[in-house]
Structure 1
Amino acid sequence: MKILVTGATGFLGSHLVKALLKDDHEVIILKRSFSNTWRLSDVLLQISSYDIDKYTLEKIFREHKNIDAIIHTATQYDRHGEKYSEIVESNVLFPLRLLEIATKYKVGFFINTDSFINKNNNGYQHLLRYALTKRQFLEWGKQFAAISKIRFINVRLEHIYGPFDDDTKFTTFIIKSCLRNVTELALTPGNQKRDFIYIDDVVSAYNTLLKQKDSDFFCEYELGTNKTVTIRYFIEQVHKITQSNTNLIFGSLSYRENEIMESKANNEKLRILGWQDKVPLNEGIKKVIQEEKEFGFEKFIID
């Protein structure tokens, strides 16, 4: 298949690109001219790469006819004081333009990457603008599926983790803090329950969806293990496995406003397709720690 991937230089996107190449797919990526491509350094010569600040989408689709699928993983969070307009541009307008041109060039289907924080959301304040724009684009996806007859698959991810994620992400922050033996970590009581899913299992789920030939024009899949543990359990396991001296101060921080206290995936639809998660949590944590140690976690580069 000929597959276009957005967000390919990021954590999830880079893992997807490498898996697609291993399966002998032709891969096209969209990035910015200033994107850090370190995660793809070993495969850059195997892919077609376009800087979207230099090329129009029209030109890219003209040069690569008969694209079979788009996997959209690019996203903009609101962790660093980004402007509202910047978040809307990245999370709504850009993928909307991509969806428009995909229908024009008769792309078979569009896989959108969504988040668990929009599931039964009751006003969760953390990443509020990010969540709003993700919901807005999803509504556009539903409209295109109904009117333009492109298959739109929405993947609602639970708490993904793995090696070489951004330092600002919870799991990476905890693991690196423990590896560095920081003096102490101020934490909430940690009773929030999350469905942690390892990156390899996420990638295999996308691969399963790519193989589906017949489905409704709009489909939605929850992607996780259908099992939860508390945030406290995750942190304590990392602390134990790393043999860290860091002092964990649970309860020194308050929960966020309208905190999501439990989230897990109903992954029955994916299991019906033949997918299953294979990496237990403790094994996944060990894999991340080993990779970070081998890479040199003090030299880790934020994308």
Structure 2
Amino acid sequence: MKVLITGAAGFIGHALIKQLSATAEHVVGIDNINDYYDVELKHARLRDLEGIGNFTFIRADLVDAEVLNQIFATHRFDCVINLAAQAGVRYSLDNPKAYVQSNVVGFLNILEACRNFAVPKLLYASSSSVYGLSKDVPFSTRQSVDCPISLYAATKKANELMAHTYSHLYGIQTIGLRFFTVYGPWGRPDMAMFKFTKAILEGKPIDVYNHGQLSRDFTYIDDIISGVMRLLEKDGLEANSVFNIGHGSPVSLMDFIRAVESATGMTANCNYLPMQPGDVEQTWADTQGLFDAVGYTPSVKVAEGAARFVEWYRAYYKI
């Protein structure tokens, strides 16, 4: 199997390449290495992938349809896993055009390339953000997601609709992945685990929004990769489907902070703030659909995941 992974220098892309390269014939990764967060971390992830004989990295932007088509023509992929996206809810308030270019135009180029080069299977990153302010928990893929409260969420909902259309028209099997608050070693600096660990170890205050009255379905990276791999390898799924990939058990923000405190051996100095625009009070994944489809059962709890992240963070930054 020849597989393309977009967002190869990203958090989930890096982890997936390490896992998939053990079984795939050839893995090609592309990334534009944008500066949304520290590019050195992205380059470090790529260095961590050096030495994998069946992995090829190409620096490219999904918005450049001509380059993308050249890559597809050269490699003739059996499957594409689209993880490249402009991420982050809060950043979308200040930089909306970046989200339309990467998440809408870029995704359209992926769909067109899959169509034109007869790629039979496409997995793509959606997000738990599509559930918006829904009070109907746990969040189920059967419920309506027609009321996003951030442009980021709107672009991810658009991706699901676009994928459905291409699946219907051109027979491409499309599988949407609604990720729930992914964390772990090599994680993103704009995410809570990274930000809290960095601030606590440096003796700086952490910003705690909605005065701590938040909860998230924190999902460890290894569990995420397990779910994606199971879907990639599974035959007989519907032509178009969407799955929640989360832990299935939300954790309050304050309990999450306590887990980071325990892992660092230090106490957080909390700066309590109001709710931020575009944010939601809770996320909670109903993962029954993914269990029924591929037997997905997440196993890493926040205390263990926090300890693993802090261990990696200390090693990476030589603390």
TM-score (norm 1): 0.89
- The DSSP-based 3-state class of the residue aligned with 1:48 is strand
Contact 1:152–1:218 (Cα < 8 Å) also in 2: yes
Distance of aligned partners of 1:261 and 1:121 in 2 relative to their CA distance in 1, 3 Å threshold = closer
Is 1:105 paired with 2:117? Answer: yes
- Alignment check: 8 A CA contact 2:219 2:247 kept: yes
Residue 301 of structure 1 corresponds to: none
- Does the 8 A contact of 1:124 with 1:257 survive in 2? no
1:260 to 260, 280, 297: 280
* Gap change, CA 1:33 and 1:186, over 3 Å in 2: closer
Amino acid of the structure 2 residue aligned with 1:2: K
Is residue 75 of structure 1 aligned with residue 96 of structure 2?
no
What is the TM-score when the length of structure 2 is the normalising length? 0.84
2: CA distance, partners of 1:186 / 1:124: 24
Report which stretch shifted further, 197-206 or 266-275: 266-275
- Look up the SS of the partner of 1:41 in the other structure: helix
TM-aligned CA deviation for residue 82 of structure 1: 5.8
Distance 2:279 2:207 in 1: 17
CA shift at 1:240, angstroms?
2.6
Match of 1:31 in 2: 31
| Contact residue 176 and residue 297 of structure 1 kept, 8 A | no
The AA in structure 1 aligned to 2:102 is: S
For 1:121 and 1:43, the matched residues in 2 are separated by 38
- Letter aligned with residue 264 of structure 2: T
Partner in structure 2 of residue 64 of structure 1: 75
Q: Does 1:19 align with 2:19?
A: yes
Asked whether the 8 Å contact 1:87–1:129 carries over to 2, the reply is: yes
Identity of aligned residues (%): 24
Counterpart selection for 1:203 from 225, 244, 251? 225
CA displacement at 1:90 relative to structure 2: 0.4
Structure 1 residues 219, 82: closer, same or farther in 2, change over 3 A? same
**Superposition map of 1:81-230 within 5 A:** 83-121=95-133, 125=149, 128-182=150-204, 184-188=205-209, 189-230=211-252
Q: C-alpha separation between the residues in 1 aligned to 2:113 and 2:240?
A: 18
Cα pair 1:145 1:218 within 8 Å, conserved: yes
Q: 1:106 to 1:277 in 2, by over 3 A?
A: same
Aligned pairs, number? 292
- How large is the Cα RMSD of the aligned pairs? 2.2
Letter in 1 for 2:245: L
Q: In 2, distance between residues paired with 1:59 and 1:93?
A: 17
2:49 match: 43
Letter in 2 for 1:275: Y
Q: How far off is 1:87 after superposition?
A: 1.9
CA distance in 1 between partners of 2:33 and 2:129 (Å): 30
2:289 matches 1:269: yes
Change (3 A) 1:258 1:42: closer
Point out where structure 2 has 5 or more consecutive residues left out of the alignment: 135-146
Q: Show CA shifts across 1:20-60 (max 9, x none).
A: 11234410111227774320213245322223258612211
SS of residue matched to 2:122 = strand
Q: Distance in 2 between matches of 1:258 and 1:2?
A: 38
- Shift of the alpha carbon at 1:147? 1.1
Instruction: Please tell me the residue identity of whatever aligns with 1:22.
Output: A
Shift of 1:166: 2.3
| 2: CA distance, partners of 1:89 / 1:158 | 23
2:301 paired residue number: 280
Residue 78 of structure 2 contacts residue 121 of structure 2 at CA under 8 Å; is this kept in 1?
yes
* One-letter amino acid matched to 2:189: D
Taking the aligned partners of 2:56 and 2:255, their CA distance within structure 1 comes to 42
Q: Give the match's secondary structure for 2:298.
A: coil
Unaligned runs of 5+ in 1: 299-303
